[in-house]
Structure 1
Amino acid sequence: MASLFHCLLLFLILFSVSTAQKTSFRPKALVLRVTKDESTLQYYTRVAQRTPAIPIKLSIDLGSEFLWVDCENGYNSSTKKPVPCRSAQCSLSGSKACTSNTNPSDDVCIESPHNPFTNTGTADEFSQDIIYIQSTDGKNPGKVVNVPKFLFTCAPTFILEGLAKGAVGIAGLGGNKVSMPSLFSAAFSFPRKFAVCLSSSTSETQNGAVIFGDGPYVLSPGIDISKSLTYTPLVLNRKSLIGCFPGEASAEYFIGVRSIKVGGKQVPLNSTLLSFDEDGHGGTKISTATPYTTLETSIYKAVVDAFVKALGVPTVPAVSPFTACFSTLKIGSTVNGPDVPPIDFVLQSEKVVWRIHGANSLVFVGSDVACLGFVDGGPLHFVDWGIKFTPTAIVIGGHQIEDNLLQFDLATSRLGFSSLLHNKKTGCSSFNFTSIDD
């Protein structure tokens, strides 16, 4: 049985969709409510799409190139249309494939939806349909607006395997031209920026957000996080090997980590792994599809050893997938207290540091056990399971992103990050989703 919360959400979406069809309101920013799935640890959202409009559940992937949706199992819409081959929209996607019909004018553009949770890919029709999304002024939610010919890719039902229960596709937030941030920016002529703020809670009433457009990003109690961001360049990986069209630049988000410190002391590691080789292997990626930060084996061992030494607390039996676990009774104070050594990713200089505090470094796995929430990603190597992909030395995962606000500026290739919001007496669940201004 659907929860009262979801029944109310459905009513608000559909009521506001009817309002959106009657207004010429142009928003300055848009917002998606984001919830963490307790079972899969995926982050998901809901948007309204199609004619007649229905709400659809989508798992979020920061690095996916576009919105894709299962069209095989009951996709009904009077406004859905395929994207023609050799059209401007097809060229924008970078597609290199089309259907082959007797009449070339009937050819349809083909794209390659990819499931990042199972590393499964396929090819299907590139399409367009109306989509509805809520606007925001950065403080409060506003009217629901629509984009009539929003680009997305159809996908067969089998590719849904591994997604959060009820999800019918992926909300792709990648850095390419047909991702959701780029398309929303083009539709409403606002800055090609978006912010991600993920809540650590799996409660359906303690949501995070994705905000398309510029700040302010105001969290309760009236704190504008956009005024306190630290910035670092986004690094382009020119050798994406994901999908059916390998060899192009990656739509994923990479940053330039130069070194790692634990408790203020530099961790000895092979620094060549922190840069891309000629095949695009290595580097540091930010990912919402990875629950916990993964480190190349040699980096992982060095960080774990340094953390255990700096914490100075005996370990207890490991709890998979972690290897360094501790009694919470031995750690003392709180996870954000001075007894838990911070882990620093040093970026373009010693003064620009992404600091991971205890709330993001430790994972509670029982009433009295906490583990270092990093995972051994294995040695850096090239793997081919039918779909080729680029192994990465460091993948900063969801747990380490939670309750940090990240702003991705696609126009200037810059990342703004807040560090842990708990230190500012707020968090990502403090966005206002309580009402819709109709």
Structure 2
Amino acid sequence: MEVVLACQATAFEPFQRLCNSNQFTYGDFSISSLNSESPSVTFNNVNYLCIPKPFLMDFPPGVFGVVGLGPTALATWNQLTPPRLGLEKKFVLCLPSDENPMNKGAIYFGGGPYKLRNSDARSMLSYTRLIKNPRKLNNYFLGLKGISVNGKMILLAPNAFNFDGNGNGGVALSTTSPFTTLRSDTYKVFIEAFSKATLDIPRVNGTTPLEFCLKSTTNFQVPPIDLELADGKIWKVFAANSMKKVSADVACLAFVDGGNAPEQAVMIGLYQMENTLMEFDVGRCAFGFSSSLGLVNASCGDFQRQP
């Protein structure tokens, strides 16, 4: 890669929450293509920040950087749009489950088709609107009307998911938060509802940060959790994305208490996104999501190149 220009900038590593300064520059960049006849595409003058060495300490072997996907001018998806490459303002994520370290995920820039075995996975997507928060420009927000446990809506204040005058509140998506975080008032009502719906399953002691844990058996089943979005679409969360197995016979509800004044009322975390296809159509302010791919006996590693 040929470096053309360099200057100092501050880098933020979201997993360890580290800040450091290093060279901000630009140059040529190559990515894989879905077209097997043209296996890679190179575009010019992509902006990037050299990763400071302290950031690499806890990264898996072979990982040397972080791709920015937020709604910002320098996000990777945005730098692939005109005039550099001409792709749509859109990207797709499929994050693998952490149960098997060999599991692979998938990321697409510029739209589909998304070939999952012999079908286009776009048919699995439901769409809702991405909400803009002028005071929090680095996050993707969804409109949420309510949360149901086993088909019953939990009772919350009418403004439970609203933004306040400082832009706090709302419902955001985060790939750096391991589990979905709920403000304390919402978390308390949610846990009470889930506890009532699982009275027939033995309780066991929690483990930090997961407080609500159940004895896991061969036929372990828990009620589904529905996130009812503002336009009536339902994001269904089944056991694979709601219960985190912490030992051979214990599974814990993968939702955590965010305290009384978190930055967001709800932060949808990484575990609830695993093995789920998510399309961020930033150009149209739309978010597409599937149910767990496990329901069709598939995983993120099953996505293929286009012929």
User: TM-score, length-normalised on structure 1?
Assistant: 0.65
Please name the residue that 1:343 is paired with.
Answer: 225
Among 186, 191, 197, the alignment partner of 1:310 is 197
- Say if 1:348 and 1:368 are closer, same or farther in 2 by CA, change over 3 A: same
Amino acid aligned to 1:395:
M
1:80 & 1:260 partners in 2: Cα distance? 49
Q: Is the 8 A contact 2:278 2:290 kept in 1?
A: yes
Please name the residue that 1:393 is paired with.
Answer: 265
Which residues in structure 2 correspond to 1:139-158 (within 5 Å)?
143-158=39-54
1:361 & 1:319 partners in 2: Cα distance? 15
Q: Shift of the alpha carbon at 1:123?
A: 4.5
Question: SS state of the match for residue 194, structure 2?
Answer: helix
Residue deviations 1:185-241, cap 9 Å, x none? 333212111100011145454211111111111112x1311122111111112113x
Please name the residue that 2:33 is paired with.
Answer: 135
Residue deviations 1:250-301, cap 9 Å, x none? 1221111121111111112234341211111111111111111111112112
- The CA RMSD over aligned residues, in Å, is 2.3
Please name the residue that 1:191 is paired with.
Answer: 88
Among 95, 109, 114, the alignment partner of 1:212 is 109
Please name the residue that 2:242 is paired with.
Answer: 361
- Say if 1:204 and 1:163 are closer, same or farther in 2 by CA, change over 3 A: closer
Report whether the alignment pairs 1:402 with 2:274: yes
Residue deviations 1:159-182, cap 9 Å, x none? 556544664332111112210011
Instruction: Quote the sequence identity (%).
Output: 32
Q: Is the 8 A contact 1:421 1:428 kept in 2?
A: yes
Residue deviations 1:110-145, cap 9 Å, x none? 5432121233334544310222211015xx795122
Please name the residue that 1:99 is paired with.
Answer: none
2:188 & 2:238 partners in 1: Cα distance? 19
Please name the residue that 1:68 is paired with.
Answer: none
Of 296-305 and 355-364, deviating more is 296-305
Question: SS state of the match for residue 318, structure 1?
Answer: coil
2:249 & 2:178 partners in 1: Cα distance? 21
Q: Shift of the alpha carbon at 1:156?
A: 3.4
2:89 & 2:269 partners in 1: Cα distance? 24
Among 174, 179, 183, the alignment partner of 2:75 is 179
Amino acid aligned to 1:333:
N
Residue deviations 1:304-347, cap 9 Å, x none? 11111112223111122211111113xx6354xxxx21111111
Please name the residue that 1:81 is paired with.
Answer: 4
More helix as a share of residues: 1
Which residues in structure 2 correspond to 1:175-324 (within 5 Å)?
175-186=71-82, 187-201=84-98, 203=100, 205-220=102-117, 222-240=118-136, 250-312=137-199, 313-324=201-212
Please name the residue that 2:286 is paired with.
Answer: 414
Please name the residue that 1:115 is paired with.
Answer: 13
Q: Is the 8 A contact 1:234 1:253 kept in 2?
A: yes
1:304 & 1:297 partners in 2: Cα distance? 10
Amino acid aligned to 1:251:
N
Question: SS state of the match for residue 134, structure 2?
Answer: coil
2:240 & 2:255 partners in 1: Cα distance? 13
2:97 & 2:177 partners in 1: Cα distance? 14
Among 249, 254, 257, the alignment partner of 1:373 is 254
2:172 & 2:214 partners in 1: Cα distance? 28
1:112 & 1:414 partners in 2: Cα distance? 30
Question: SS state of the match for residue 188, structure 2?
Answer: helix
- Say if 1:156 and 1:263 are closer, same or farther in 2 by CA, change over 3 A: same
1:153 & 1:82 partners in 2: Cα distance? 11
Question: SS state of the match for residue 274, structure 1?
Answer: coil
2:17 & 2:98 partners in 1: Cα distance? 26
Q: Any gaps of 5 or more consecutive residues in structure 2?
A: none
Q: Is the 8 A contact 2:184 2:258 kept in 1?
A: yes
Amino acid aligned to 1:356:
V
2:267 & 2:57 partners in 1: Cα distance? 23
Report whether the alignment pairs 1:430 with 2:302: yes
Residue deviations 1:49-105, cap 9 Å, x none? x2xxxxxxxxxxxxxxxxxxxxxxxxxxxx11226xxxxxxxxxxxxxxxxxxxxxx
Q: Any gaps of 5 or more consecutive residues in structure 1?
A: 1-49, 51-78, 84-107, 241-249, 382-390
- Say if 1:211 and 1:155 are closer, same or farther in 2 by CA, change over 3 A: same
Q: Is the 8 A contact 2:51 2:64 kept in 1?
A: no
- Say if 1:325 and 1:166 are closer, same or farther in 2 by CA, change over 3 A: same
